[in-house]
Amino acid sequence: MSEQHLHSSHPAIAKRLKRAEGHLRSITAMIEGGRSCLDIAQQLHAVEKAIAQAKKTLIQDHIDHCLEQATDAKPRQRQSAVRAFKEITKYL
């Protein structure tokens, strides 16, 4: 894997994902409890939105970091930052 990165947004993203994880467990219980498909679909939609927002926040923060790094870096480090920027854009 790559080197460790910690951005200021990571704790909030982790908190959001833990909430989504708990929500997903409750959806599993809804399925096992025989709740209506409409109720389940609504809850799954909410989890999808929470995860999509976490991904969006993570990618935007990473892009900001890459751009800052590239503008302040030496040419070789700038190339590395641009490569990281290009890599993460495939997840947009």
Residue type, 48: E
Among 53, 80, 81, 51, smallest CA distance to 66 is for: 81
Instruction: Please tell me the CATH superfamily of domain 10-89, with its number.
Output: Metal-sensitive repressor, helix protomer (1.20.58.1000)
Supply the pLDDT for residue 14: 95
Supply the pLDDT for residue 23: 96
Supply the pLDDT for residue 75: 78
* Average pLDDT of the chain to the nearest whole number: 87
Rounded to two decimals, the pTM is 0.76
Supply the pLDDT for residue 1: 45
Please give the chain's pLDDT, 92 residues, in tens: 456 677 888 999 999 999 999 999 999 999 999 999 999 999 999 999 999 999 999 998 888 877 777 777 687 777 887 788 788 888 88
